[in-house]
Chain A
């Protein structure tokens, strides 16, 4: 069946470090990938997305890398700040809008 998983359940970094959150997906038909950030008590907040015809996309302080060969997705956060502390989810979609989420990685940023 479809599944999206993450390698590390918790990632602890120091303020100012770069963070890398990884995600493996299993559905090779997925053509759309998204990273969401979820803070306690809130809904998921869109960070960045990438289509399957791309392998890299950059936003403000964030970069998403897609490796379709090994079905791997990563989110890089530059100069991590305490406000980046949250749970990060990757999700995959297959054209119409159903998203399959992983279980999430908790990012802890120490000042």
Chain B
């Protein structure tokens, strides 16, 4: 186990709604990254937070937003849900020391948008 947990496990929403997904990082990790994984594809980078600040963003619209808290837990918020937002959402935590550091993934939240 990686020590990274996510909630909820599964979620069903309708188009236009808003959703909040949660992640609890591995103890001591200061960086969290969020990824979207569509069925049959590799994870796509959404954004990353380092010490509560956004530290990089992938090619996702502003309706995808996030927060990282002082205890290193984090949230991914998606507004105005679209059918194509249906995917597995993964968070990954790491201890960034300035170089390349291993990212440890949680089990993901499966979001279905109807």
Contacts and interface: CB of A to CB of B under 8 A. Distances in A.
Interface of A: 4, 31-32, 34, 36, 41-46, 49, 51, 89, 91, 93, 95-104
B40 interface: yes
Nearest to B59: A1
Contacts of B107: 41-43
Interface residues on B, range: 20 to 34
25 contacts: A31-B100, A34-B103, A36-B105, A42-B107, A43-B90, A43-B92, A43-B105, A43-B108, A45-B105, A46-B2, A46-B104, A51-B100, A96-B48, A96-B56, A97-B31, A97-B48, A97-B96, A97-B101, A97-B103, A98-B48, A99-B35, A99-B103, A100-B45, A101-B42, A103-B40
- Please report whether the interface of chain B is mostly helix, strand, loop or mixed according to DSSP: loop
B100 A46 contact: no
Interface in B79-102: 90, 92, 94, 96, 99-102
Nearest to B40: A103
A34 B105 CA distance: 13
Contacts, number: 72
Interface of B: 2, 4, 31, 33, 35, 40-45, 48, 55-56, 58, 90, 92, 94, 96, 99-108
B16 to A, nearest CB: 28
A41 B101 CA distance: 25
A96 B106 CA distance: 20
B48 A102 contact: no
Question: Which of the listed residues B35, B40, B45, B56 has the most CB atoms from chain A within 10 Å of its own CB?
Answer: B45
Contacts of B96: 96-97
Contacts of A97: 31, 33, 48, 55-56, 94, 96, 100-101, 103
A43 B42 contact: no
Nearest to A33: B100
Given A43-B106, A46-B104, A104-B42, A98 B56 contact: yes
Top 3 nearest A-B pairs (CB, nearest first) are A101-B42, A43-B105, A32-B100
Nearest to B102: A46
Contact of B2 (A34, A45, A95): A45
